[in-house]
Structure 1
Amino acid sequence: MTFALKGGSVETLRVTAQTRTPHVTLSQVTRSFKKAGAREMFAALGPIDLTLNKGEFFSVVGPSGCGKSTLMDVLSGLARPTSGEVMFEGKVISSVPDGVGVVFQEDASFPWLTVRDNIAFGLRRSGVDGPEVERRVAYALGFMGLRDFAGAYPAQLSGGMRQRVCIARTLVMQPRLILMDEPFGALDQQTRLLMGDELLRLWRETSATVLLITHALDEAAMLSDRVGVMSSRPGLFIDMVETGWDRDRDSRVVSTPRFGEINARLWEKLRVETMKVMGTQH
């Protein structure tokens, strides 16, 4: 049983752990740049073929500079692919589409706004009426455990709580696809595990499709239905790892033999690609 925020109320939805309904599709997607002063194009990504199923939690790992963030930009509509096609809910992405929310690694909270006003910011900019804003924000404050801090400013919060604020600000926009770029990268390991549990709860109760970019193999192994391993530049998917976790999983899976097996497989692939990157730098 999962829940989605609709009009400020909680609506019950019934979904399976793997609906296998295509939600996002990338077909032969590439992305190239031309560096200043260079004659040749710099190939950052692809060609990539990828399908994310509706309600899936998918993570991407890869060596530094492999195009993970470029992939995020293309998926979010912040950048156009050089070639190929990106589709969300059956429509080609040509700009930032409705229904897509992005959470970045950097603390994106506004220091001059309270927690409540930070969460409400996007809704107010979008012209949502006052009572609806209040309903959605009240839900998000409770859901993310921030109700007692609604009047606090970001400087008064821990790093983990500030990230909760950023996630809550995305949640109230009711995204059907959530893109996350290293959202817990600046946190210590223990906090990251706890934030991972919160993220899994959010994923289950909103039924959103989630794509997470991370450098942490254990984070990817714990959170995901599938993990895609990218090669060194230009980034391609060289392995797809099905974790086999139940939908109601949490951080306790890190103590299982299967978790160790997944980590080992991810590192086996990633080690080779990382050595290639290091070899080009020396």
Structure 2
Amino acid sequence: MTAANTSLNRSAPLRVLDTSPSQTPEEAHATLTGVTRHFTKNGSKELFHALGPIDLTLMKGEFFSVVGPSGCGKSTLLDALAGLSEPSSGTVMFEGRPVKGVPDGVGVVFQEDASFPWLNVRDNISFGLRMAGMDGAEIKRRTDYAMGFMGLKDFAGAYPAQLSGGMRQRVCIARTLVTQPRLILLDEPFGALDQQTRLLMGDELLRLWRETSATVLLITHALDEAAMLSDRVGVMSARPGLFIDIVETGWNRSRDSRIVSTPRFGEVNARLWEKLRVESMKVMGTAAH
């Protein structure tokens, strides 16, 4: 496969889309409607407006990324979708049901290395299944599949301290994969990795997305990562976070990291930075020129 045929029709214009694409309702997988989040500040009664109001529809099987300046509420948005926190107002739905707690079918991967140092790779990956009381044969089947898929079979008996940062993230992704999620939420999963490893991990993530047909939402600070991986990228404003731009990349589903050398990739990246630069300047307290 050449770099050219992993990409889209390069003549297609960049488009700003509504956050609720005009597709049939049954294709909507998760939605946020009028979602806001306020926090109390420093234990006082003063309210800190962190997010929203946000309206967003994730279509079934799409790869959607969110970029924005530091402190704009990206992770807060993810927490609401994951059921890890309740919004101050608005509704969050997954597969037609209100989100109350972490829904069945949702998997979350965080930036922090969440592996248990006292467990080897196999036991780390199967930990959640064992805690759920799953049948031993099914645990083995799922764990073997996840290790094979993520290239970890030869490291089944290794401990986290014996693995590189990229390998430990593979373990965390595999631990999510064994739960067979239909919606995968990723919060800066490759933020601590070097650029080369991030590109390779991005290829692995795209392969996982294609083969599982899961819907994926990725939070990232890296514009190139969002531009490479996503069907659509939402750009958020400075706090309180709002979507100020939604860019459809138009990549083919068979894409991989070779698209970073195409002119279209540069166009998408530039479009994201055009909006994000202004918002980042606001956070820094400087004027954009």
Give CA-to-partner distance per residue, 1:28-47, whole Å, 9 cap, x none: 00000111343321000000
Which of 57, 60, 68 aligns to 2:63? It is 57
- Aligned residue for 2:222? 216
- Provide the C-alpha distance between the structure 1 equivalents of 2:103 and 2:43, rounded to a whole number of angstroms: 34
Which of 148, 159, 171 aligns to 1:153? It is 159
- Provide the C-alpha distance between the structure 2 equivalents of 1:198 and 1:149, rounded to a whole number of angstroms: 17
Superposition pairs of residues 263-274 of structure 1, within 5 angstroms: 263-274=269-280
AA aligned opposite 1:87:
M
Q: Answer yes or no: is 1:185 the counterpart of 2:191.
A: yes
SS in 2 for 1:137: helix
- Provide the C-alpha distance between the structure 2 equivalents of 1:37 and 1:83, rounded to a whole number of angstroms: 21
- Provide the C-alpha distance between the structure 2 equivalents of 1:37 and 1:246, rounded to a whole number of angstroms: 48
- Provide the C-alpha distance between the structure 2 equivalents of 1:179 and 1:44, rounded to a whole number of angstroms: 20
- Provide the C-alpha distance between the structure 2 equivalents of 1:34 and 1:129, rounded to a whole number of angstroms: 44
Q: Answer yes or no: is 1:81 the counterpart of 2:87.
A: yes
Given that 1:140 and 1:172 are in contact with CA atoms closer than 8 Å, whether structure 2 keeps it comes out as: yes
- Provide the C-alpha distance between the structure 2 equivalents of 1:36 and 1:279, rounded to a whole number of angstroms: 22
Which of 42, 52, 56 aligns to 1:46? It is 52
Give CA-to-partner distance per residue, 1:231-265, whole Å, 9 cap, x none: 00000000000000000100000000000000000
- Aligned residue for 1:67? 73
Given that 1:76 and 1:100 are in contact with CA atoms closer than 8 Å, whether structure 2 keeps it comes out as: yes
- Provide the C-alpha distance between the structure 2 equivalents of 1:115 and 1:241, rounded to a whole number of angstroms: 38
- Aligned residue for 2:29? 23
SS in 1 for 2:179: coil
- Aligned residue for 1:8? none
- Provide the C-alpha distance between the structure 1 equivalents of 2:23 and 2:197, rounded to a whole number of angstroms: 31
- Aligned residue for 1:11? none
Given the two structures, how large is their TM-score scaled by the length of structure 2?
0.89
AA aligned opposite 2:151:
G
AA aligned opposite 2:167:
M
- Provide the C-alpha distance between the structure 1 equivalents of 2:50 and 2:149, rounded to a whole number of angstroms: 38
AA aligned opposite 2:37:
R
SS in 2 for 1:210: strand
Q: Answer yes or no: is 1:96 the counterpart of 2:102.
A: yes
AA aligned opposite 1:262:
V
- Provide the C-alpha distance between the structure 1 equivalents of 2:62 and 2:23, rounded to a whole number of angstroms: 8
Give CA-to-partner distance per residue, 1:150-170, whole Å, 9 cap, x none: 010011110000000000000
- Provide the C-alpha distance between the structure 2 equivalents of 1:269 and 1:225, rounded to a whole number of angstroms: 18
Which of 232, 257, 263 aligns to 1:226? It is 232
- In structure 2, stretches of 5+ residues that fail to align are 1-21
- In structure 1, stretches of 5+ residues that fail to align are 1-17
AA aligned opposite 1:34:
T
Given the two structures, how large is their TM-score scaled by the length of structure 1?
0.92
- Provide the C-alpha distance between the structure 1 equivalents of 2:260 and 2:227, rounded to a whole number of angstroms: 8
- Aligned residue for 1:175? 181
What is the CA distance between 1:19 and its match in structure 2? 8.0
Given that 1:19 and 1:55 are in contact with CA atoms closer than 8 Å, whether structure 2 keeps it comes out as: no
SS in 2 for 1:141: helix
- Provide the C-alpha distance between the structure 2 equivalents of 1:186 and 1:179, rounded to a whole number of angstroms: 17
- Provide the C-alpha distance between the structure 1 equivalents of 2:23 and 2:239, rounded to a whole number of angstroms: 32
Given that 1:119 and 1:172 are in contact with CA atoms closer than 8 Å, whether structure 2 keeps it comes out as: yes
- Aligned residue for 2:205? 199
- Provide the C-alpha distance between the structure 2 equivalents of 1:273 and 1:130, rounded to a whole number of angstroms: 51
SS in 2 for 1:87: strand
Superposition pairs of residues 106-185 of structure 1, within 5 angstroms: 106-185=112-191
Q: 1:78 to 1:37 in 2, by over 3 A?
A: closer
